[in-house]
């Protein structure tokens, strides 16, 4: 007997019927004889399919931008972004979350990644962990705080663990985003209640049902855009340069000096001195150099500019 989705959003369908309707589960006619090809021909076919991904994502940019507005507003209010996924989708959320502190100097709590099956699922598949809506809801009940935004990630748009987490967040009044790689009409059957639905319909995978491929690539692109654009919107860059990076290794310490040098037209030695006085805070060092001011004055300029370097410099010279 085929399983049915727990509490589907619209008319119930068997799991077999749900999967059969998904483009990511379809057989790709362009790669149906991939097992007859040479290694060079195989990778050329995969590459041809991968080139379709960016175009599929481009069709969803309005929705990605809407997600950015929700997330950046949450950050300004002291909330967090919480990714929820299973399998490849869950791992991508965890990876994106883990890259925020070293890249943008964020608190590790600011962007969180939840994967069905917990920490062990990052390193070894826990396939059955995704099958219960209630499991996802339980995680949300334990971790949600005021102003948090929850972003579900599921290629199919139907993963019970993810849908359960999203439904719980929605019920509790939190803003919600859902990232899928199937057609909107199919995803809306399960997640039609979310605030922002991003459906980059990438079509059949090169290997049938292997959503670690085109679907994973599309999801990675979208998550990159959501977090990066949100960080830009809250002042984590000056121009297109990261100015809140953490100086946790030699490479980053040298990068910080180069950033201060380029932004303020100072020497290597002066950049090193300014960073030392600013306790390694690149933004502050830039403002100190550009406005020829003290640490205290630079900090005040940045606070009045809500952390935006460009605004701090404009106001400091006006």
List every span in the chain annotated with CATH 3.40.50.10490.
15-233
pLDDT of residue 198: 98
Which of the following CATH numbers is that of domain 15-233: 3.40.50.1100, 3.40.50.10490, 3.30.420.40, 3.40.50.2020?
3.40.50.10490
Long-range Cβ contact pairs of 284-288 (< 8 A, separation 24 or more): 285/256, 285/260, 286/238, 286/243, 286/259, 286/260, 286/313, 287/312, 287/313, 287/316
- 212-226: burial string, b at 16+ Cβ within 10 Å, e else: bbbbbbbbebbbebb
Q: Are 283 and 306 in contact (CB under 8 A)?
A: no
pTM above 0.85, yes or no: yes
Q: What is the pLDDT along the chain (318 residues), one digit of tens a residue?
A: 333 334 444 446 676 566 656 677 788 999 999 999 999 999 999 999 999 999 999 999 999 999 999 999 999 999 999 999 999 999 999 999 999 998 999 999 999 999 999 888 888 877 777 889 999 999 999 999 999 999 999 999 999 999 999 999 999 999 999 999 999 998 999 999 999 999 999 999 999 989 999 999 999 999 999 999 999 999 999 999 999 988 989 999 999 999 999 999 999 999 999 999 999 999 999 999 999 999 999 999 999 999 999 999 998 776
pLDDT of residue 17: 64
pLDDT of residue 73: 98
pLDDT of residue 192: 93
pLDDT of residue 4: 35
Q: Are 157 and 199 in contact (CB under 8 A)?
A: yes
Catalytic residues: 99, 130
Which of the following CATH numbers is that of domain 237-317: 1.10.8.1080, 3.90.660.10, 3.30.1050.10, 3.40.50.1950?
1.10.8.1080
CA 284 to chain centre: 27
Q: Are 213 and 207 in contact (CB under 8 A)?
A: yes
pLDDT of residue 21: 64
List every span in the chain annotated with CATH 1.10.8.1080.
237-317
């Amino acid at each position: 007997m085929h399983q049915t989705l727990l509490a589907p959003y619209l008319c119930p369908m068997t799991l077999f019927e749900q999967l059969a309707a998904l483009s990511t589960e379809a057989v790709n006619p362009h790669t149906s004889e991939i097992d007859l090809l040479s290694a060079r021909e195989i990778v050329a076919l995969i590459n041809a399919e991968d080139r379709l991904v960016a175009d599929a994502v481009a069709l969803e940019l309005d929705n990605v931008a809407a997600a950015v507005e929700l997330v950046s507003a949450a950050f300004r209010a002291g909330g967090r972004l919480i990714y929820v996924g299973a399998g490849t989708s869950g791992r991508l959320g965890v990876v994106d979350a883990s890259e925020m502190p070293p890249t943008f100097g964020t608190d590790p709590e600011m962007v969180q990644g939840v994967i069905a099956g917990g920490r062990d699922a990052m390193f070894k598949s826990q396939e059955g962990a995704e099958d219960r809506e209630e499991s996802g809801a339980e995680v949300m009940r334990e971790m949600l705080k005021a102003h948090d935004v929850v972003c579900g990630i599921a290629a199919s748009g139907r993963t019970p663990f993810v849908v359960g987490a999203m439904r719980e967040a929605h019920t509790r009044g939190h803003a919600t985003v859902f990232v899928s790689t199937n057609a909107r009409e199919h995803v809306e059957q399960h997640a039609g209640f979310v605030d922002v639905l991003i459906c980059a319909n990438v079509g059949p995978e090169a290997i049938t049902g292997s959503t670690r491929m085109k679907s994973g690539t599309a999801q990675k692109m979208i998550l990159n855009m959501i977090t990066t654009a949100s960080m830009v919107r809250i002042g984590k860059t000056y121009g297109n340069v990261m100015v809140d990076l953490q100086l946790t290794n030699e490479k980053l310490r040298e990068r910080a000096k180069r950033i201060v040098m380029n932004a303020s037209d100072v020497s290597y030695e002066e950049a090193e001195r300014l960073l030392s006085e600013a306790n390694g805070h690149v933004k502050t060092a830039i403002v100190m150099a550009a406005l020829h001011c003290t640490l205290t004055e630079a900090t005040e300029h940045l606070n009045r500019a809500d952390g935006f370097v460009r605004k701090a410099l404009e106001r400091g010279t006006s």
